[in-house]
A and B are shown apart, each in its own frame.
Chain A
Amino acid sequence: MNKNQVAFFVDVKRCIGCFSCAMACKNQYHQPPGVVWRYVYSLKEEIYAHHERAFLSLACNHCEHPTCLEVCPVEAYTKREKDGIVVHHQDKCIGCGNCIRSCPYGAPRYNPELKKAEKCSFCWERQDAGLKPACILGCPTKALQIVRLADFKRPGSLQYIAGFPRMTALNPSVRFNPPRQPMEVRRAL
């Protein structure tokens, strides 16, 4: 593992499913309709059987061993040494869709206007300028944060939680704080 690897920390306890992160990403990059780099998934009832709902805000996980980078036939993906961000170079992409088909997290998406793939860049341009990623700035509850995995030691956090595909060979750079289990209050008889 790159000791400088950055990761998204998704605090599911705090997330209210408002989609502000996804909207902030959209406002930053103006992807065409239907193309999303970040999406907020609702946990299904089979996992979280409560009246309250819980959400996973997900984008590219900038894996330690990214499938997209491995399968791309034209080397349109690189992984930065300085922070482990997986960057997609659109000038090289020929739109074969192999990365879209191969990423188990569905991070790369097809842009029908450009006829190329694209995905979350972790706002590396903003980070290089000393700014935070747009999605993190847009989150009103601070449920989405950027962490450096080498320093990240938050108790109770998990790499894989229910509802998130477990792909150990890829080693996704993401950590979760699991959802809160609602407290059951019973009136004494």
Chain B
Amino acid sequence: MNGMELPLVFFTVLGQAAVGMTLIAAMRRHATDSGGPVFAGRNEWLTALIILGVGMAASLFHLGHPTGSPRTLVHLSTSWLSREVLMLGLFGVLLVIGFLTVPQTSGSSVLITLTALVGLAGLIASGLTYAPPSFPALNNGVPVLLFLLTALIMGPAVCSYFTSEDTQALLTGILGTALILGLVMNLILPSVWMSGGRVMQMTGAAHYGSALYWIRLGGEFGVGLAVIAATRRIPVWLPVVLLAGEILGRILFFSKVVHTATNIGGLY
């Protein structure tokens, strides 16, 4: 098994939470344009910026030589990691611009949409960074989908702190849908892996055999869906539970997916 890669766990989860917030903000902005709920304002931009900043700071702890991090931009031609750093860097710049320019109670539709799109591009680049041929279980679109689900779970969860009661229904609906999709995907994935080649089977078995996997299914998706079904809103404590669940899920992602080299000398 691989290490837990905690700096990358926090970098990816927090980065995707920030992207999710802007995706939700863009949706609400367009809903506002068509007479829907009002966009919350610059505090949300600041929160997304802080969350992204903490994530990016955490990523530096993963590097052997953090001072060399600016050079990660030099290989944009083929490296998804370079593209990820570029897009998330641009995303951060747009968040700063948003925070500095957006008035307290409304925002530019163009800026919000552009920020959300750049963040989404960063999320996709991030997903493709973690889809190398060495992990057959992830050498596909699965990382992008998992990262998108994190954004769609954490986005409305964090945004719920900034919205009035009448906008909770929209966020609760998005969060509930994302949790259902997350539950289904996380139930199905290990089964699909179990029907693949040997290394993918090892990945599926590692998930089924991990307490973290079951704790996450129950603690994040089970509790989240039960609370939403019972209250039809996002209680103030729920985003913390969901964040813990996403961190557990990302630890699984980095530590329980089996590398091809693990089985050299055996059947593939």
Q: Mark A99-139, 1 if CB is under 8 A from B, else 0.
A: 00111111000100011100000000000000000000000
A147 to chain B, nearest CB (A): 21
Tell me if A2 counts as interface (CB < 8 A to partner B): no
Tally B residues with Cβ within 8 Å of A.
Answer: 33
Q: How far is the CA of A110 from the CA of B63 in the complex (A)?
A: 11
Question: A183 an interface residue at 8 Å Cβ cutoff?
Answer: no
A180 to B133 alpha-carbon distance, docked (Å): 30
Q: Mark B236-268, 1 if CB is under 8 A from A, else 0.
A: 000000000000000000000001110011111
Q: Is A16 an interface residue (CB 8 A)?
A: no
Encoded as 1 (CB less than 8 Å from any B CB) or 0, chain A from 142 to 182 comes to 00000000000000000000111111011000000000000
Alpha-carbon gap, A102 to B260, bound state (A) = 10
Q: Is A96 an interface residue (CB 8 A)?
A: yes
Main secondary structure of the interface of B (DSSP, over half): loop
Q: Once bound together, how far apart are the Cα atoms of A167 and B135, in whole Å? A: 12
CB-CB under 8 A from B135, the residues of chain A are 101
Write out the residue numbers on chain A whose beta carbons fall within 8 Å of the beta carbon of B130.
101
A96 CA to B264 CA in the complex, in Å?
A: 24
Residues of B within 8 A of A (CB): 2, 62-66, 68-69, 71-75, 78-82, 85, 129-130, 132-135, 259-261, 264-268
- A47, A93, A98, most chain B CB atoms within 10 A: A98
- Establish whether residues A94 and B69, one from each chain, have CB atoms under 8 Å apart when the complex forms: yes
- Given A43-B265, A74-B68, does the pair A169, B74 have CB atoms closer than 8 Å? no
Pick from B65, B80, B260, B268: contact of A94, CB under 8 Å: B65
- CB 8 Å contact bits of A80-102 with B (1 = contact, 0 = none): 00000000000011111110011
A44 at the interface (CB under 8 A from B): yes
Are A41's CB and B64's CB within 8 A? Answer: no
Q: Is the CB of A56 within 8 A of B75?
A: no
